[in-house]
Amino acid sequence: MRPFNVPTKENVSSKNQELLKVIEKEVGMITNIYAAFAYSDYALEKYMNFKNQPNSFTAIENEIISLSVSKINGCEYCQRAHATIAKNKGASTVQINASLGLETVLTEKENALLRVTKSIIENKGKISDDTLNQFFAAGYTKAHLIDLSLLIAETTITNYVHNITDVEIDFPKL
């Protein structure tokens, strides 16, 4: 077991206490991963500013990406969190399972999105021409590709924080 217990609001800086209050109001709870970010006086604010930016993907596409990234990065916490969020945003069980590599039945567009996401992660940003052409042929743009790189980074940050701290998972099992 890691030496990271989930800090309470009282055990973090006053700045982080205020941020956790906002998160609690917006999410309905303080998730353990956000509390783990609060170990640092700087990380939670930086992450929340980065995380809360709009992008060119739909809400469900955002979750498909985050689920896939979390699966590749081996973060069970984020897989559970994003599966819950995806369900709440209207994603189907097939979309969730396919994003986690458990099923393969998706639209061509969703398949192209998953292929390019996986390629970016596994090849450190280098995408084959074939994979990139499929992504564009599916209707995605250069703007989507840039936004995808940022969403992969955002999700990876959370994956790594959980994989490092191993704080208790406070989302339901898949």
pLDDT at 3: 75
Q: Which residues contact 28 (CB under 8 A, 6 or more apart)?
A: none
Do 81 and 124 share a domain, yes or no?
Answer: yes
Do 89 and 38 share a domain, yes or no?
Answer: no
pLDDT at 129: 97
| Contact indicator for 134, 112 with CB cutoff of 8 Å | yes
pLDDT per 10-residue tile (average), the chain, 174 residues: 83 96 94 96 96 93 97 97 96 94 85 96 96 97 98 98 95 91
| Contact indicator for 66, 82 with CB cutoff of 8 Å | yes
Do 109 and 148 share a domain, yes or no?
Answer: yes
Residue 105: inside a domain: yes
Do 97 and 133 share a domain, yes or no?
Answer: yes
Do 134 and 158 share a domain, yes or no?
Answer: yes
> By C-alpha distance, which of 93, 148, 144, 102 is closest to 125?
148
Residue 82: inside a domain: yes
Q: How many domains does the chain have?
A: 2
Do 29 and 45 share a domain, yes or no?
Answer: yes
Residue 171: inside a domain: no
pLDDT at 61: 96
Instruction: State the CATH number of the domain containing residue 122.
Output: 1.20.1290.10
pLDDT at 1: 56
Do 93 and 145 share a domain, yes or no?
Answer: yes
pLDDT at 103: 74
Do 34 and 18 share a domain, yes or no?
Answer: yes
Do 24 and 42 share a domain, yes or no?
Answer: yes
- Cα gap 74→30, rounded to integer Å: 23
- Cα gap 171→109, rounded to integer Å: 29
Residue 174: inside a domain: no
Residue 172: inside a domain: no
Could you list the residue range(s) of the whole structural domain that residue 150 is in? 59-165
Residue 137: Cβ-neighbour burial (10 angstroms; 0-12, 13-18, 19+)? exposed
- Cα gap 37→47, rounded to integer Å: 8
Q: Which helix (H) or strand (E) segment is 112 a member of?
A: helix 108-122
pLDDT at 174: 82
Residue 129: inside a domain: yes
Residue 113: inside a domain: yes
pLDDT at 2: 67
Do 80 and 152 share a domain, yes or no?
Answer: yes
Residue 3: inside a domain: no
Do 76 and 38 share a domain, yes or no?
Answer: no
